[in-house]
Structure 1
Amino acid sequence: MSLRNRLTLFFTTIVSVALALFCLLLYLVAERYRETEFQNRLRAEALTAGHLLVGRERIGPSLYKLMDKNQLTVLPDEEIIIYNGKNQLAYESGTDYLTLTEAMLSQIRKKKQVNWKKGDRQIVGLLFIDDQIPFVIIASAVDTYNLRTIQNFAKLLGLGWFLMTGLMVVAGRLFAGRTLQPISQINRQIDDITALNLSHRLPEGDQADELAQLAHRFNRMLNRLEDAFRLQRLFVSHASHELRTPLTAITGQLEVSLLADDDPDELRATIRSVLDDVRGLNRMTNGLLALTNASMDSSTVPMGTVHIDTLFEQIRQEFQRLHPDYTLQISLADVTKTHWQVLGNESLLRTAFVNLLDNAGKFSDNHSVSVSLLSEVASVQVKVHNTGSVIPADQLTAIFVPFQRGRNAGGQPGYGIGLPLTERIIQIHKGTIEVESSTESGTTFTVTLPH
């Protein structure tokens, strides 16, 4: 079932049920009013009969029957019955519609007035006292005219409900069509968007309704997709270039070695050079693989409690083993062990911090790196500082783009993968990374991770 038909059905059902309840309420109120009004007329008839038949200024039963027979306001199928204090029949109109028991008479004497129904006949029994003699007067009749009127009223309500329900079907379908028209336009415009024209955007309009919000969010998604496609093309372009360079060098060296004489020293030198290129190619491939893995869904990364102070102690030992000529100084604030805890992946954090330390040592004049760990109220802060070549101010953000390296990186080995990988890992841990670089204070990377 289409959304338009579902909305029409939903709208019609709600209105029809509400209208049916309203019609039922009208019918019940009208029926209750008719019944109460007829009971009041029966009570008036009973009191009139009591005053005329057993009251102080009474008339004879024959005259009363004659008056009752010729009275224009007499009720349909009316019957009047009067019992004296000894439950003996004092008067009966003669129609003989009712049969009363002593229990019913006792109930009327006790409650002074009782109303009940027997089929379509409504009955009122009341206690009438004259000269301290208690009489029981029962008046009954059939409200033929008003019953027929209320039945016609019920038919009119049913017909009106049926017609209004049909009208609601038509109105609901038109309303659903007008409501869903912008969605149909959005669908047509979405069909026109392909990978070749991701710059196309949906019109958001001037309104602030849900459809405008939908178009706005879809445009934001297109912005992210366009950025992803652009970065992918840029990534493939740079990766191809970076991979082609060492492969070209390896190919050239091997071709030269084939043309060279069988000098073992030259062959060993060529093999050694090719091996360095292969190792560099392997490092770059591993970096690309790590960057790709870190760019995947962060919800799939296993997280646990990581002690930053313990992690840096392990990194120090590994770093000094890999770079014995580097100097690494780590200063920790004097706080309890729990203040260094963060929620994260120890392996990824180790990769991120090793990249920062390796960059800092590589670009430092004396290969000296200083690290300070600070524990704040809601986060742990890691500052990695070195004094060396300064990163130009206009490239402080570009260094986090894959394969983009600062102008100060000339002559230093690297492929522009480490810092983008580090930034992505910090983002996975809901942290931030900032960089400051100046001639006076050197270069400082600041990583902030929430507890």
Structure 2
Amino acid sequence: MKLQYSFILIFTGLMALLLLGINLVMYSMSSGYREHEFFMSMENSATIVASAVLQQEKAEDFYAIRNNILQHLEDEEEYILRIKPGSNDIQFPKELPLDESFYRQAIKEGKARHYEGGIYYVALFTNNDGGEDDILVISTARDAEGDAYRKRLRTTLAVTYLGAVLTMGLTSLFFSRKIFGQMVKIIQKVNSINVFNLNDRLEKEQSLEEISELQDTLNEMLNRIEAAFKAQQDYVSNTSHSLRTPLTIIAGEAELALRSIEKGHKAEYSLQMIMQETEKLKHTVNTLLELVKEIGSGRKDSWKVTRLDEVLSSVVHTISKMDESFKMRIDYSDLPDNDSMLCVSANEHLLDLALSNIILNGFKYSGNKEVKVKLTPGTDFIKVEVTDYGIGIPKAEQELIFTPYFRASNTEGFEGFGIGLPLALEIMRMHNGDIQVNSREGKGTTVQVILPVAKPAQEV
């Protein structure tokens, strides 16, 4: 999960829990206060009833006071018990769902309270100092107004709670966007920087100090990467230029020597091998120079819309110069009537190198047996399948074949350095393409090159 959304969830969640706790405390205190007030009203009413019973001559006055001053309680009922002092044989009302302990508590402590099934119960015990019997008044009532109050309170708290949580969520979203918005811009900008625009830098904006420090750090890192990359380019370029001239001389001298000797001379095979290997090396050196030039320029001026079948024809010509014994069969059976479906936006030299490396691998690891190449156009992508019937790749090692300098465990008898496929993949990625490999050890390998079809209005 992104840090921005984690921040929103954590902040909103913590504040929601805090608000929920506050609401529960408020509801509990308010409901408890309401319950206490209702019990007090019932006890006051029971006190008046007890006084009226003990002072019969003033009973009407006590009831008048209760009716005029005290709140009328819904479904209110009173039960009056006369208890002889010291007597344990007491007949408590059986119609009330109360344990005997409730009455005993009232007699012992002077009063008792109980709530069950929406009905409040109050018992008030009064000693009769001037008479024979003590008085126990049990009062029951229903707090309809209090129930309505609690319902309104729950609704109000729930609505305000949801509104507060929603407000906090939107507020945290707003501020998180303000805080993380610049980080998102930094990520997008850094992701847009590649080998073609290593000179781009992050633009400084008014922001938090930490964000500014991050921008400075990334810009300094990009400076170091660009310097190291240019040094590497210069080294490869200088080395390739240094190799190009002697390779050309070697190839020319070998060709002259081959022409000057008689057919069947014992040096003929050696000279032919020198010419073939020199052509391979010249091809690699020239392409490395092209790759360095393309990346170093930061532009795609040398790119153009070209037909992939024509590139394949160039690859056939290049490979035949390296070794005339190579047998390659190109399957054009799926060629479309619409030539635009064969077009790709590419640097022809780089594409030629990538396809040549893949096909030459097929010849190398199949003992120079025939390699099949099939061109399959599509609406959005065009595919080139290169199939050989050689040693294949062990299943456990297939994920490592694009690692530079990696060579499979069954290639000990074959020359190579493990840079052909990684270089080809890098070139395909420069063309927004991909390479997929399907191989069975001892059966052969199929390498599928996938490139996007150039649209009619595509600019190169």
TM class, shorter-length: 0.3 to 0.5
TM-score, normalised by the number of residues in structure 1: 0.45
